[in-house]
Amino acid sequence: EVKVSAADSAAEDMQHTANVTDDLFGSLTFNIPYQVIETMQASRYFMAALAATIDEPDKKSFNYTVPISVQMYTFISRQPDEVSRIYLFAAPFTTEIWGCLVVIIIITAPVLYFINRLVPMDHLRITGLSTLNSCFWYIYGALLQQGGMYLPKADSGRLVIGVWWIVVIVLVTTYSGNLVAFLTFPQFQPGIDYFFQIFSSSAMQQFGLRNGSYFEKYATQITTRDDFRDYVQRAIIYNNVQGEDIGAVQDGKRINVDWRINLQLIVQKQFEKDKECKFSLGRDNFVAEQIGLIVPRDSPYLQLINDKITRMFQMGFIERWHQINLPSMDKCSGHGGMRQIMNHKVNLDDMQGCFMVLLFGFFIALFILFIEYWYRWYFVEKKRGVFST
């Protein structure tokens, strides 16, 4: 349609009429119908407003205009699955940070204990911090910002607690900020982002390619990339929507190669239907296909048409038409994806790790309770029985 719009604009300026027919509707840009070629050879029409791939212009019996569009090729695949959020609460820190945190708790508790015990004045010693166990729980409670019942009276002990609180503030602030980011921005498993990764996925069983596409010629006759040739050799050539088999792509068993705007249209329709992102487009554009109009070989109007097309590009008309009428960028990225992120509500998937920690704590508490009962029975009751005898 952009080609027809360009033709209408040029025809209006040059006082010609544009005759649009649907007899050849659905024809591909690379394989130009023979009816059009015969018409151009006979010079029966001023210009064919047909999207045609500019390919080997010196060998054609007609002329191409300057490109009115450049279509890039990419591929469409299934959106990678989201990473399990069961360990989301631990995601803000790396394993090394968690390990260091455990170590500094183990170190700080004995330091506080010994400093409290080594205070030279008896009145400065705190009874509540006189055991290593009490110091450990005080340090752990301070890490959770719960504080404690006792505070060292000696300046040496207060200095230890003061420095520990500074560490706690930094840790908690960093953890909270990163946790918000992990809750807001979901993480996905590694997917297929670039063409060279296509054959490395064992889940891919099919490869699709639109019939008569310029990519097929480019891969077999022009480029030296072996992965392009391998793809064309393995590809299932399709002519219609049924052969496109988007369902297999959604299931993660197939990859299709086509114009990026065509694939963006698929993503847009699916997103508007399900309000969910199920497809992913490749990050790289690996083939550029120039699209132009065709005119008779000896047409005196070729330069005039080229000037009009160039002028429309310079004034931004064609770019503006693309923005209004062609499918927008991937709905699952950019403003569309950001809107999903901003509207995200914390759900059970986000909090399941927290509940599992609580459940794990209950089991640990019951296990410790069992040990306490066993200790009372083995040491206290047994010794009481020995003394009674």
Residue 72 makes CB contacts below 8 A (sequence gap 6+) with 259, 260, 285, 286, 287, 288, 289
Q: Closest Cα partner for 22 from 61, 52, 49, 53?
A: 49
Distance CA 249, CA 79 (A): 9
Tokens, residue 33: 């119908």
Q: Where are the beta strands (DSSP E) in the chain?
A: 48-53, 62-64, 69-78, 206-210, 236-238, 254-259, 279-281, 287-296
Question: Is the separation of the CB atoms in 257 and 208 below 8 Å?
Answer: yes
CA of 152: how far to CAs of 108, 112, 163, 168, 375, in Å? Answer: 14, 9, 13, 18, 32
Residue 280 makes CB contacts below 8 A (sequence gap 6+) with 76, 77, 78, 79, 80, 191, 192, 332
Q: Is 53 part of any known ligand binding site?
A: yes
Residue 168 makes CB contacts below 8 A (sequence gap 6+) with 142, 143, 145
Tokens, residue 273: 């239907």
At how many degrees (to 10) do helices 302-314 and 2-13 cross?
110
Distance CA 213, CA 100 (A): 57
Distance CA 373, CA 266 (A): 65
Q: Closest Cα partner for 19 from 38, 47, 39?
A: 47
Amino acid at 265: L
Q: Is 213 part of any known ligand binding site?
A: yes
Annotated binding site for L-glutamate: 53, 213
Annotated binding site: 53, 213
